[in-house]
Amino acid sequence: MSSRRNFLQKISFSAAALPFMSLKDTAPAAVEKNYDGPVLRVAIMGLGSYGTRVAEAMQQCTKAKLVGVISGTLSKIAAWQARYNIPAKNCYNYENFDAVKDNPDIDAIYVITPNALHKEQVIRVAKAGKHAICEKPMAVNAADAQQMVDACKKANVKLLIGYRMHFEPKTLEVIRMRKAGEFGAIRFFQGLSGFVIGDPSQWRMNKALSGGGAMMDIGIYSINGARYMTGEDPVWVTAQETKTNPAKFKDGLDETIQFQMGFPSGAVASCLSTYNMNFLDKFYLNGEKGFAEMQPSTGYGPIEGKTHKGPLTQPHITHQTLQMDGMAALILENKQPVVPVDGEEGVKDMKIIDAIFEAIKTGNKVSLSWQK
């Protein structure tokens, strides 16, 4: 399974049908069918293809409910109102959504817009007194990401990042096995993340909006995956960039990056991020006593994998359904996930991306420090 962009490239629905495609065949009901507790009321900002995917998945949630929308396109707002029964008072555009501070019927806003817009929009959400959920990467660099964290702390609201894999059952089983020592000391991680990007005019190929190329889109999966699979944060990175089509991948838009990371334990990682190769969605974890292999490892699912003990057989539930219910539990009940999804987690990934770009620019090994 490829990334969400690759998936959307290949489906054959028309542009008109895409915003409301049915996901019922891949969205079984969440586990807690008889849940009778508080519900997180969410507005989605950015009504594109991934916003649609989240909205459809939320129809199966028990702890989170879609109640509002924020968009610059009036026709999308009208269509979402009709489909999801959203009242007019919960509909905003990008200019007036600060008024949500006076709307007690919205608890949180999920920002699903181009990367470069996240910082300003999340800070505005925080100033409006609403919890912020931000799609990854959370910003275009670590400095901007830290400003987002600081703004949410100042406003006393939560900032969560859209790490759906942190709630995925097979992924969590591998993490459980690693924590239980079933792999022994971790020695090596490999992460392969890539697909051939399509339309060159899309915002992801505009550095001003994306902040970069493949690394800011698909490469972050291997970065974050290396961290939750090994259970460590890297202390150094090295990286090399390959560009075969400079006309398409202009300055600041990376096509293919190979990068390596070293961890405090001595474990190492070798990863690939690319917009020029399909069928790359694989994690491999090697320990002194065993291994885990996942392919696909981060696609929409079902995730497939095995360890030295046999196949991973945990059930598939739509990732965004699990994510939104898990985030609702975190916000409403302070129930912490196995792997953090807070803003600080997102800042770490951005620091690693910054270091990778620095390593490419200088040709040097770049050290990372996690002291506050």
Task: Look at the block and give the residue holding tokens 């969605």.
Answer: 281
Average pLDDT of the residues of the chain = 92
CB 238 within 8 A of CB 260: yes
CB 294 within 8 A of CB 282: yes
- Residue 301 has what pLDDT? 84
- Residue 35 has what pLDDT? 87
What whole-number distance in Å separates Cα of residue 255 and Cα of residue 263? 26
- Residue 371 has what pLDDT? 78
| Average pLDDT of span 188-211 | 96
Tell me how crowded residue 84 is: count the other CB atoms within 10 A of its CB: 18
pLDDT exceeds 80 at position 318: yes
First to last CA, the chain: 38
Q: String of b and e for 89-101 (b: at least 16 CB within 10 Å)?
A: ebbbeeeebeebe
- Residue 18 has what pLDDT? 34
Catalytic residue among 84, 110, 163, 221: 221
What whole-number distance in Å separates Cα of residue 187 and Cα of residue 270? 11
| Average pLDDT of span 218-238 | 98
pLDDT for 279-292, tens place per residue?
999 999 999 999 99
Residue by residue, DSSP assigns 43-68 as EEE--SHHHHHHHHHHTT-SSEEEEE
Is 207 noted as a catalytic residue in this protein?
Answer: no
Alpha-helical segments (H) within 187-339: 207-210, 219-230, 319-333
Strands (E), the chain: 40-45, 64-70, 91-92, 108-111, 131-134, 159-161, 186-194, 236-242, 256-262, 268-274, 280-287, 291-294, 305-307, 310-311, 366-367
Amino acid letter, 184 = G
Q: List the beta bridge partners of residue 45.
A: 70, 111
pLDDT for 15-45, tens place per residue?
333 333 333 333 334 456 688 899 999 999 9
Which residues, in sequence order, are CB contacts of 329 under 8 Å at separation 6+?
63, 335
pLDDT for 245-295, tens place per residue?
999 999 999 999 999 999 999 999 999 999 999 999 999 999 999 999 999
pLDDT for 321-342, tens place per residue?
999 999 999 999 999 999 999 9
Is 221 noted as a catalytic residue in this protein?
Answer: yes
Q: List the beta bridge partners of residue 207.
A: none
Catalytic residue among 63, 119, 130, 136: 136
Tell which phi-psi region holds residue 317, choosing left (phi > 0), alpha (psi between -120 and 50) or beta. Answer: beta
| Average pLDDT of span 115-140 | 98
**Structural domains in the chain, sorted by start:** 4-163 (3.40.50.720), 165-315+343-367 (3.30.360.10)
Q: String of b and e for 299-334 (b: at least 16 CB within 10 Å)?
A: bbbbbbbebeeeebeeebbbbbbbbbbbbbbbbbee
- The model carries a pTM of 0.91
